Structure 1
């Protein structure tokens, strides 16, 4: 397993990491899977207070209570559940973030987070106030670093300009190459690490029945999956899709949703796979066209 420095921080994270949102089923099996991932070299585990109304954090906390120094633990904040549980509302205020961290730390059975991320965001948010909250939590030792989870160019630029964030989590895959237009270069220039999610495009790149995806038609999604299989070879589709994401120097890690033993073994295989040959990379880029962000550009 390769490890990369996350932005300008001292955090070293595995280049393939564990997205905990997908975990379901029995607690014992989930904990076994988390432990197996750690034993195999995955050290970055990403959760959020939103997932399963906090139960996901509780699960991760229970799994790593006695292994805290071995993992890089990340969570997210900003989506506040309504008292009746009917849904959530966006709340990036300083007061809410300072309250929410206490609840996350309790659920995760730890006194600090390695990475705390704003779970979304708009350009109309009180961004300065949000940054104040994260900076205060760093001073208090409750978080080591902070970042945002966003695909909005205008929001990303605002945080790059105003804050000391070390990471941006964003969707990036062969079927979503929008970050290649400007964002990856911008973040690389400012030494902000990119946590890539959605590398498999909801499994569509692995041969799931095609459906509409972003601006891609059903036919285009099917053609992209077929092109990937033809270029990579049927046995290497998953590895190639992940290595495509990891080949960009701005990317620190591919955060994969892992729910089963098969998913975990696929993640290990992707981590062990060699980097893409330049000719394969070029073929993939020619077969699957790049798009651009149409909203939230400025």
Structure 2
């Protein structure tokens, strides 16, 4: 049984920006997850259905598909821009063949990226502009200073950071108001609870949770590594490998049992948990299939009681997952 997604999606605040939750992560439409199954027409249908069902926050980045994802999103929203809260990101540098060339946050690069994103998206302003990863070689004050200039110029509405540490967030917020901090957060990635969530709450910054379904693992669709396509990025993720995979299946089993007694799907239970973490928390599950979209949006109609949340805490405490969130090289790009 799945909950119907047509009930009103809740309004949540990211700083002074209002959005409906959950949002829609668009990354997988253009790269990383099952790349041989890219279907732009279906992805555009997903975006249109999402907007028709009352969703409004679309999340992309200049590095997804090396710009292709922004072009796809731009095409999808061309005739309905007014209904969209459009979020994109800069900072992860890609080479001509898609290779990763590190992180940049220097002022000229910030300006150049914004103009390139506006062009690919076919819009005159970005509602929420994130620094995708923190550049260890550029003071955050310079990066956010350049982003603030974009706000003054009318090219950007609100500013965000992604995977930034508390000290960095504080320094950034001293330069210009930060609307949102985006970080991985789910039933198997609860690290932000220690110090990131308390920091953003103190500063009045909203929290956007990416990979709220554990890169699809928490949906229960993957039982062995062979359920992932050969060219899927997740095959290199520690949590999807060897013993970690088997141990993490126990988490999925726990979620499945609770979902069954609740009369919802595993995905809905996992998303409802993230939604229940506060009115300032906005999960952005990604999907490129209309079939899964309704399931994700239906999570907004699943209410978890205090007793149910306590039970989940007891069964799946922080640190339950086996393995790092990313392989070693990608973990190095996360601001500590």
TM over 0.5: yes
1:13 is matched with 19
1:101 is displaced (CA, Å) by 0.8
Please show how residues 131-142 of structure 1 align to structure 2 within 5 Å: 131-142=144-155
1:218 is displaced (CA, Å) by 3.8
Which 10-residue stretch deviates more, 77-86 or 60-69? 77-86
How many residue pairs are counted as aligned between the two chains? 295
Q: Give the distance between the partners of 2:253 and 2:43, measured in 1 at CA.
A: 33
Given the alignment of the two structures, is residue 252 of structure 1 paired with residue 265 of structure 2, yes or no? Answer: no
Equivalent position SS for 1:239? helix
Q: Give the distance between the partners of 1:98 and 1:30, measured in 2 at CA.
A: 29
Q: Give the distance between the partners of 1:162 and 1:123, measured in 2 at CA.
A: 18
Please show how residues 62-211 of structure 1 align to structure 2 within 5 Å: 62-83=75-96, 85-150=98-163, 152-207=165-220, 208-209=222-223
Higher relative contact order (Cα pairs below 8 Å, separated by 6+ residues): 2
Equivalent position SS for 1:141? coil
2:3 is matched with none
1:126 is displaced (CA, Å) by 2.0
Q: Give the distance between the partners of 1:172 and 1:132, measured in 2 at CA.
A: 28
Deviations 1:67-112 (A, max 9, x none): 1111100100012222454333311110011011111101111110
Runs of 4+ in 1 over 4 A off after TM superposition: 292-298
Which 10-residue stretch deviates more, 148-157 or 241-250? 148-157
Deviations 1:24-55 (A, max 9, x none): 53322222221111000110001011011111
2:12 is matched with 4
1:210 is displaced (CA, Å) by 6.6
Which 10-residue stretch deviates more, 256-265 or 141-150? 256-265
Equivalent position SS for 1:262? helix
Which 10-residue stretch deviates more, 228-237 or 153-162? 153-162
The question of whether the paired residues in 2 share the 8 Å contact of 1:245 and 1:251 is answered with no
Report the CA distance shift for 1:290/1:86 in structure 2 as closer, same or farther (over 3 A). Answer: closer
Q: Which runs of 5+ in 1 are unaligned?
A: none
Which 10-residue stretch deviates more, 169-178 or 23-32? 23-32
1:288 is displaced (CA, Å) by 1.2
Q: CA RMSD in A?
A: 2.6
Equivalent position SS for 1:256? coil
The question of whether the paired residues in 2 share the 8 Å contact of 1:169 and 1:196 is answered with yes
TM-score by length of structure 1 reads: 0.90
Equivalent position SS for 1:116? strand
Please show how residues 220-235 of structure 1 align to structure 2 within 5 Å: 220-233=247-260, 235=264
Q: Give the distance between the partners of 1:113 and 1:125, measured in 2 at CA.
A: 23
Among 284, 289, 293, the alignment partner of 2:317 is 289
The question of whether the paired residues in 2 share the 8 Å contact of 1:194 and 1:250 is answered with no
The question of whether the paired residues in 2 share the 8 Å contact of 1:81 and 1:88 is answered with yes
1:162 is displaced (CA, Å) by 4.3
